[in-house]
Amino acid sequence: MAALKRVVPTAIAIAVGLLVLVAVFGSIPLVDAVAVYLIDAAVIVAAFAFFLGLLNVLRVHGRKIREGGANSLYSFVLLVALLVVLALGLPPLGNQPSGPSQPAVQWIFQNIQLPVQAALSALLVFLMITAGYRLVSHRNLESAVMLLVALLVLVGQVAAGLVPVLVDVKDWILDVPTMAGVRGILLGVALGAVLTGIRLLLGVERPYSD
Amino acid sequence: MIYCPRCGTANREGSKFCNDCGQKLGTHTRIKCPHCGIMNSVQNVFCDECGGRLLPAPLDASGAEVGPPIKGLSLPTKASAPEEDAPDESEAPEAAGDMPAWLRALGDSWSDEPGAGAAREEGDEGDEIPDWLQDLRASIPAEEPGEGQGADDDVPDWLRELRSPAEKQEAELLAPIEGHNEGEDAWLEDAEQVEEEAGAQGPESGGGELPDWLEAANASGEQGEEGEDEGPAFYAEGEAEDAAPDWIDEPEEQREPPVAEGEGAGAPEWLAALGLPEEDEEEGMPFSAEEEADEDETPAGLDDEEPEVPAYEEEAMATPEWLVALGLVGAVEDEAAASGHEEPVEEEPAEEETLDWVDEEEIEMSPEATAMAPPPDTLGMPEAELPDWLEALRPPEAEAEVLSGEELAEAGEVPDWLVLSADDMEEDEGLARADIPGWLLALKPLELREEEDLEEETPEVEEVPEEGGLLAGLIGTLPVEMLIAQPRAVTATGGPELPSADTPQARLFAEIVRRPPESPPKPMVQAEVPLIARLPLWIIYLVLIAVVTVPLLIGEPVLVRRATPLPAEQSLYQGIESLEAGSPVLVAFDYDPTTSGEMDVLARSIVGHLMDRQARVVAVSLLPAGPATAEMVLDELAQGRAGDADGPDLLYANLGYLPGQVAAVRLLGESIEQALPRDFQATPLAELEVAAGVTDVQSFALIVELAATQDTLRWWIEQAGTPYDVPLSAGVSASVEPIARAYYETESRQLEGLIAGVPGAAEYEALVSGEDVLIGPTAVRLDAQLAGHLVFVLVLVVGAVARSTRRNAGRGQ
């Protein structure tokens, strides 16, 4: 039975992988149709993961509310907001569309979620200043190089049309040393992806059964 | 480090005088091998290069080495009387030698007993000899003197096993010492002469077992019958005459000076170190001058640890009672030059060249100093710690034998607070630096800490794997980032950890800590940080907000910037310009409100241009919040455009969110109907005029990816643009630009065009508008961004300068 549990998933994974691979390199209508169906199934599974995530959020914060404590109020607010948005988006109200495009939901997004997230992101500037200052305090070569490059790129980024030299320096940094590193990384990633694919097709890698 | 022979203070290498007491320090830090000439560490007994012995070893008449037991292979061994090394006596200096100077200083200051400082090698600056030394003196005569192997009794078995092969071999080599006539050095000839003069004493006289200075005393004694067993009698201060050792009773004629005058070459180091300066000068052997002349070639062990013990000198000037009682004084004084001679027989003496290290250390020893010289083990020569590899070889039982600290404590040789009980030793068996607990190490002065100590205290940076991007899953790709992520200050730890060894101090400390407060503790007043102290931080924040806000409030570009579009920006512009009116264009809004501040600017530039070209914009997103964000931008752009009169639906269609990431892109490439059957407004795809005729990715004339992260950019390039050969351009966040450029700078142009960040958007707007300067709201945002960046740079520079200045000022003080 244990062998069956190991063999069957492996065989399915290999078969699906080979089918999609053949569909990419070949043009057999039946195989293409099966491949598209399999990819569509993957999208559905990914969407279903959101539903599982929703259930998990309900369970976790429901437990926190039951247990009480200082932070239970936040869990309560979270669950209330979740249920309100869900309730607003689920049923069609007259001719209004349902889902995220529902006007009430859209209003909540534009007036609550977007400003809050944007403000949180804007706080990064203070974090960056603090991080940069601390980087100065770490006196080593890595810190010095990183700080110097960061400053040059930052200044060169906003000096467009003002100080061409700074822009040229920034472009040189991005086009020469950075490009070399990025290409090396991309090649490594590509080789790693090929290797992982081969291992999956050969059944050496079995993330689904571990 | 050079440890002061007087006070034990550790001084820097090269110091000539003690920083604490001003005592002159030896300047020799290396010892030259007499065989190969290689300079060795002063802690070496054998040469690192050729294995030859660096320090002289005493020989008995048979030539066998009976010299000092080597307590550690790195110990700068001093010649010792071999038989007085009872275990408890040899342990004391060993334990003391293991302690660094700072620890000894702590021990002295903490100990209640005046003699607690006896852990030092030499006595304190007072007149009295440390207690442990007096105890030794008192106890030695009562002990049974050892035989030839007496000294070895103190050596743990494991160490003897380690030593035996080499030394046995050495003894075998040295056994036929009489055969060394050819090419012998002068001192060796003298040594031979001594043996001849000593006559038939041979092994019975103990000459091989006793140091030469003792033989000198022997020769000047009045009487003696036996010459064998009472080696350590020189310590028998106050002993009755009848208790004198037998060798003292030897006939006068047998007490010839064993060494020719002036040949102090073979004196053991510790004996040489006792040489009084005055006597050196009298004998025409200015020791200090030699030191200066040949610093490098003089064995460092003779100087670095030179025990110029004031107590010894004073006691030497006052002739010991037992010596007076034996009537040795006069004879000994007459034979000052002849005393203290011990042949430094080499393992393989060089036949032709003179051993310069011997010549340089010709020191006449005064008989008083000789007589008072304690055995080298008790001289407190700092016995170096055993090397790690040797510690690893130490069997458990041997270790227990060596570290019988309780016995030492009973003998008063080691302060109680340094003694670990047997149980503790069993528990802490694995500690390499055994005796020093952590809380005590924490008291070690910073300047005395070694690099490894500092490294141990350096907080390790926990390297976490990358969570996203190309390097997802890899660990430690950017250590600097981890440094930044470290907490600013290490939180204060609790109280010092009590050592496993329950010392009196630790017990007292624990008792005080546990003691309930005599009065109810006063509530701690939380020290408030004054406003002025927080002012700089707030000033920085306020300045930053002001400089960013002011340009936005002005609404017009403050700076005049010339438009200098990059080739990638021009390529994107030309790609859109080449589109026919009504061409379907797929725009992926792969960003959410978090990055909308930057990405909206890019989206407005590109999508606005598309709408100007009357392209049919079909929007999708791989992020859940993407469609809502896209809807805002699309709706804003559609207002007032050409097709607005007929309704915005003619300009764009928002197909909404598509889950599945890579698979979603691939599915779009195969079938849009299957991937997104309805749009964001839940309208069926078939009913959307903008999407008419669109079945898959290949139906689009252009794909535009608006990427805030590199992942979505890669997905579109790898799964849609390149496989289906559809032109793909991108507007990316400035943080994604380095990755995106790699796809643009390819021969096959996986990216047709590219703009990045707010500057790219401003340049693109200038291209679209045909202006040669940057204008419009995007140029205003660029001014605000420039002001913010300048504040950022200024904070870094000023902060670095201030920090450096403060640090230098601190050093100056």
Q: What's the pLDDT tens digit per position in B280-314?
A: 444 444 444 444 444 444 444 344 444 444 444 44
The dihedrals phi and psi of B344, each to the nearest 5 degrees, come to -85, 75
Mapped onto helix, strand or coil, the DSSP state of residue B453 is helix
**What is the share, in percent, of chain A residues with pLDDT greater than 70?**
96
User: Which of B23-37, B121-135, B161-175 is predicted most confidently?
Assistant: B23-37
Preferred mutation among B466, B594, B665 to probe A, highest tally of A CBs within 10 A: B594
The answer to whether the Cα torsion of B284, B286, B287, B289 is positive or negative is: negative
| Model pLDDT for residues B460-475, shown as the tens digit of each residue | 555 666 666 666 776 6
Helix, strand, coil share of chain A (percent; to 5): 85, 0, 15
* CA of A2 vs chain B CAs: smallest distance (Å): 30
Question: Where exactly are the structural domains of chain B?
Answer: 2-379, 567-772
pLDDT value of residue B705:
95
Preferred mutation among B474, B786, B794, B808 to probe A, highest tally of A CBs within 10 A: B786
**Model pTM greater than 0.80?**
no
For domain B567-772, give its CATH number from 1.10.3470, 3.30.70, 3.40.50, 3.40.720. Answer: 3.40.50
pLDDT (mean) for B67-78: 43
Structure tokens that stand for B690 in this block: 């903008």
In b/e form, how buried is each residue of B343-365, taking b as 16+ CB within 10 angstroms? bbbbbebeeeeebebbbbbbbbb
| Model pLDDT for residues B551-564, shown as the tens digit of each residue | 989 888 888 888 88
Task: Please report, for residues A73, A76, A80, the alpha-carbon distance to residue A67 in angstroms, rounded to integers and kept in the order given.
Answer: 11, 12, 17
Query: What 8-state DSSP symbol labels residue B587?
Result: E
| Model pLDDT for residues B487-511, shown as the tens digit of each residue | 555 555 555 555 555 677 778 888 8
Q: Is the Cβ pair B670, A39 closer than 8 Å? A: yes
pLDDT value of residue A81:
92
* CA of B748 vs chain A CAs: smallest distance (Å): 15
Q: Which residue of B has its CA nearest to A112?
A: B593
Strand partners of residue B678: B684
* CA of A3 vs chain B CAs: smallest distance (Å): 30
In this model, does residue B194 exceed pLDDT 80?
A: no
B213 pLDDT band, cuts 50/70/90, is low
Mapped onto helix, strand or coil, the DSSP state of residue B11 is strand
Question: What residues in B contact A43, CB-CB < 8 Å?
Answer: 658-660, 663-664, 667, 675
Q: Is the Cβ pair B564, A164 closer than 8 Å? A: yes
pLDDT value of residue B641:
75
Mapped onto helix, strand or coil, the DSSP state of residue B151 is helix
Preferred mutation among A24, A27, A40, A176 to probe B, highest tally of B CBs within 10 A: A40
A135-142 own/partner pairs: CB under 8 Å, 24+ apart = A135/B480, A135/B483, A135/B484, A136/B796, A136/B799, A136/B800, A136/B803, A137/B803, A138/B480, A138/B483, A142/B479, A142/B480
Write the residue in B563, B792, B793 that is nearest to A161 by C-beta: B563
Preferred mutation among B589, B667, B765 to probe A, highest tally of A CBs within 10 A: B667
Write the residue in A134, A143, A151 that is nearest to B793 by C-beta: A151
Within a 13 Å sphere around the CA of B551, how many CA atoms are in the beta-carbon half? Answer: 19
**What single-letter amino acid sits at B213?**
W
Q: Which residue has the higher pLDDT, B697 or B278?
A: B697
d(CA A67, CA B76): 69
| Interstrand relation of B30-32 and B39-41 (parallel, antiparallel or unpaired) | antiparallel
B499-503 own/partner pairs: CB under 8 Å, 24+ apart = B499/B437, B499/B438, B499/B439, B499/B440, B500/B424, B500/B427, B500/B428, B500/B437, B501/B419, B501/B420, B501/B421, B501/B424, B501/B428, B501/B437, B502/B421, B502/B424, B503/B416, B503/B417, B503/B418
Question: What residues in B contact A151, CB-CB < 8 Å?
Answer: 793, 796
d(CA B579, CA B244): 120
| Cβ neighbours for A48, distance < 8 A, ≥ 6 positions apart | none
- What's the first-to-final CA gap in chain A, in angstroms? 16
- Short-list B493, B556, B488, B417, CA closest to B111: B417
d(CA B556, CA B778): 10
Task: Please report, for residues B66, B111, B133, B134, the alpha-carbon distance to residue B118 in angstroms, rounded to integers and kept in the order given.
Answer: 28, 10, 8, 11
| ipTM surpassing 0.95 | no
Q: Which residue of A has its CA nearest to B473?
A: A189
Write the residue in B631, B670, B792 that is nearest to A36 by C-beta: B670
pLDDT (mean) for A108-118: 89
Q: Which residue of B has its CA nearest to A177?
A: B738
pLDDT value of residue B12:
75
Question: Number of residue pairs across A and B with CB atoms under 8 Å?
Answer: 178
Q: Is the Cβ pair A121, B625 closer than 8 Å? A: no
| Cβ neighbours for A43, distance < 8 A, ≥ 6 positions apart | B658, B659, B660, B663, B664, B667, B675
Task: Please report, for residues B346, B533, B614, B656, the alpha-carbon distance to residue B408 in angstroms, rounded to integers and kept in the order given.
Answer: 35, 56, 98, 84
Scanning the structure block, which residue is given the tokens 């008072």?
B372
* CA of A125 vs chain B CAs: smallest distance (Å): 8
Q: Is the Cβ pair A100, B734 closer than 8 Å? A: no
pLDDT value of residue A191:
93
Q: Is the Cβ pair B484, A110 closer than 8 Å? A: no
Strand partners of residue B32: B39
Task: Please report, for residues B140, B420, B428, B430, B465, the alpha-carbon distance to residue B424 in angstroms, rounded to integers and kept in the order given.
Answer: 30, 6, 6, 11, 42
Question: What residues in A contact B682, CB-CB < 8 Å?
Answer: 97-99, 101
Structure tokens that stand for B502 in this block: 């329950």
Question: What residues in A contact B683, CB-CB < 8 Å?
Answer: 97
